[in-house]
Structure 1
Amino acid sequence: MICSTATVPVNPAGEVPLTRAQAWAGLVWKARDARLFLPPGLCTRCDVVEESASHIVREATIGGADLREIISFDAGSKVSFFQAAGPSEGVIVNELFEDAAGALQLKFYCYTGLRGKQPNGPEEQAEQAWMDSEQGYKTALLSTLNRTRALLAEGKLQGEAIAVP
């Protein structure tokens, strides 16, 4: 089992501040189209194949692996990516919250395993080490916020109204 967590401030000094609604809109957009939020070429396909008021189902190719995710939304606060098919199983969560000082934070946490691999075996240990490293999901959180700011600057993000291309 892989358990990892990372938290970053949504509005660090020197960055264009995002409201909770803008940060949330970025997370929703990321759930709908990961290609815009991941490094170029990492996600080559991302299609929403089912949609309801509470969740979407997307099929994507990320890092050369085909996957299917059921993505649920706790409006304004949490996006949960349930790994239905692909190399991983479990859940990855992105959550917005205010810390004790009232500053908006973005947290990643996951409870996953690798399908067909030995639990806590070398593959899962390597994945755990990567997730916990400075190049792991902390980088993905920062990238998500940077891309959200870019979409805002381009006029494509206004609060919770998302102009998906």
Structure 2
Amino acid sequence: MKFEHLVEVNDLADPHTTRLTREELWFGLLCRAEDARPFLPGLESCRIVERSPNELVRDLHFGAAVIRDRVRFAELEWISFESEANAEHAGGSLTIRIEEPQPGALFLRFIYATTLPDVGGEDAKYADIVRSAYHQSDLDTLKMIRMIAESGRLQ
């Protein structure tokens, strides 16, 4: 299954919405890479096992299940999470791109690729449920980034 959608970060028409900068948005995405626990319900620990300038390899512990993933990124542009398949997890990828069609109008584009089929009977119904869950998780990601920004951690 391939799935993508946009989440609006800054609603320029709403003066009451706190606007995030690209740097604040990027910092929040890096927080998700460094320690995904606040972003992924059920995640007990996130251990970085390798690090290079534009890449991390992590072990994500969900109870007895451990998922290894590779995080790659281009600063202020995009971040990609690629999980390895194992007995507990089918593997897949998520890329999050920062888009700014006009100054201050920030969006996050979430692009998923999984081994789940897109079409056909019960699998199609399941795919719809997964897409809905991904969308809600992505909205929650933006909420968490806003909380990080508002906490004063960003200078």
TM-score range normalised by the length of the shorter chain: 0.7 to 0.9
**Percent same amino acid among aligned pairs?**
33
Matched length:
150
CA distance in 1, matches of 2:54, 2:122: 33
Equivalent residue number for residue 65 of structure 2: 65
Q: Which has the higher contact order (CA 8 A, sep 6+)?
A: 1
Deviations along 1:5-52, one digit per CA (max 9) or x if unpaired, are 12111113343211001001101110111111234xx21111111100
- SS of structure 1 residue aligned to 2:28: helix
1:127, distance to aligned residue in structure 2 (A): 4.7
- SS of structure 2 residue aligned to 1:99: strand
The reply to whether residue 24 of structure 1 matches residue 26 of structure 2 is yes
Q: Structure 1: 5+ residue runs without aligned partners? A: 159-165
- What value does the CA root-mean-square deviation take over the aligned residues? 2.6
C-alpha change, 1:124 and 1:44, in structure 2 (3 Å) is: farther
Tell which deviates more after alignment, 120-129 or 47-56: 120-129
Contact 2:56 / 2:71 at 8 angstroms: preserved in 1? yes
CA distance in 2, matches of 1:119, 1:138: 16
CA distance in 2, matches of 1:97, 1:148: 16
CA distance in 2, matches of 1:119, 1:66: 26
Of the candidates 17, 21, 38, which is equivalent to residue 40 of structure 2?
Answer: 38
Q: Structure 2: 5+ residue runs without aligned partners? A: none
- SS of structure 1 residue aligned to 2:37: helix
- SS of structure 1 residue aligned to 2:91: strand
Superposition TM-score, scaled by structure 1 size: 0.78
Which amino acid counterpart does residue 45 of structure 1 have in structure 2? S
Contact 1:57 / 1:69 at 8 angstroms: preserved in 2? yes
